[in-house]
Amino acid sequence: MISFEEFIQNTIYYRHHAFLFVSKYFEANSLPENDFCLLLKHLAGIELTQIKDGNIFETATQHNDIFVADRTRKILRLEDLNKVKELILYQPSEGKRRVIYIENCDRMNLNSANALLKALEEPQTKTVFILTTRNINTVIPTIASRCQKVFISFHNFSQNNILNTINIDDFNLIKNLISSFKNYFPNLPKSLFEKPTKNLQAAEIKSVLDLCEKIAKEYSPQTIQDIIVLATNENLKKDHSFLMIAKSILANVTEWKQAENLNPSTYLWLTRIFLGHKIN
């Protein structure tokens, strides 16, 4: 999980045409207005002026390059998103890209989701989609799969909140284990016929399995997922060459979250993540 500030600082690394922001913050809050303005500026080159006593989202709806889905409806219908199909056909008139913003995208019914899916499947180079949700499992999988998932925290949902849910020694064990993945990431072979090899001691495998068993028993899957994301991002901040491994870890966590309805084994997911980067 990264903070919103970290996302903004690293927008140069995010080149996807669609973002799905996932955060428990959205259970009771909308995207902060100042943060919405920052997203517009950094992702689309659009600068909106905050109007005193005004709502920045209402201001955005008046901009030629921005579409904001109705934020008051409990269910987003097909007619609520009809304008998107037409809007993305045209070049932006003021910004670098047009922006399609859908808050709590799990409000979409099947018809509106299918309409958005068609737009996501045929991305325009001058359009960026910004979707939010409090729980990735409530988002229609075909929509989620077309977006770059960003597990993010805002203001009152900080690193300290996450660390309060786990013993600091356990967190350090997880962080150190993830840090060690760099040493085992397979190097490119010198020729097509050479296979990368690794020597992994039985004692090392056992220590990883013991850690997986311990934290699987003591913490909820959601807590473990948050901790893995936090530990991964801490390693990435210290060493940018960790980026490829970080992406792989976060992809595994995302897949795990998406499979939660199937009640997968926490222990098996942990062994897949923690051992996979050492023996694959």
Task: Check whether residue 80 and residue 174 sit in a common domain.
Answer: no
From 122, 157, 192, the end of a domain falls on 157
117: CATH: 3.40.50.300
Structurally, the chain folds into a number of domains equal to 2
Task: Check whether residue 269 and residue 251 sit in a common domain.
Answer: yes
From 157, 173, 207, the end of a domain falls on 157
- Structure confidence by residue, pLDDT tens digits, 123-168: 677 899 999 999 888 999 999 999 999 988 875 445 656 677 788 8
Contacts of 275 (CB under 8 A, 6+ apart): 205, 208, 209
Task: Check whether residue 260 and residue 126 sit in a common domain.
Answer: no
Task: Check whether residue 39 and residue 144 sit in a common domain.
Answer: yes
Q: Which helix (H) or strand (E) holds 164?
A: none
- Structure confidence by residue, pLDDT tens digits, 262-274: 667 899 999 988 8
Domain range holding 198? Answer: 161-279
On the question of pLDDT at 199 being above 60, the answer is: no
From 140, 157, 174, the end of a domain falls on 157
Mean pLDDT for 195-207 is 69
Rounded distance between C-alpha atoms, residue 73 and residue 38, angstroms = 25
Rounded distance between C-alpha atoms, residue 105 and residue 22, angstroms = 11
Task: Check whether residue 101 and residue 87 sit in a common domain.
Answer: yes
Rounded distance between C-alpha atoms, residue 252 and residue 270, angstroms = 10
Task: Check whether residue 146 and residue 210 sit in a common domain.
Answer: no
Distances (CA, A) of 82 to 37, 78, 201: 24, 6, 58
Q: Which helix (H) or strand (E) holds 45?
A: none
Of 157, 156, 153, 134, nearest to 26 by C-alpha is 134
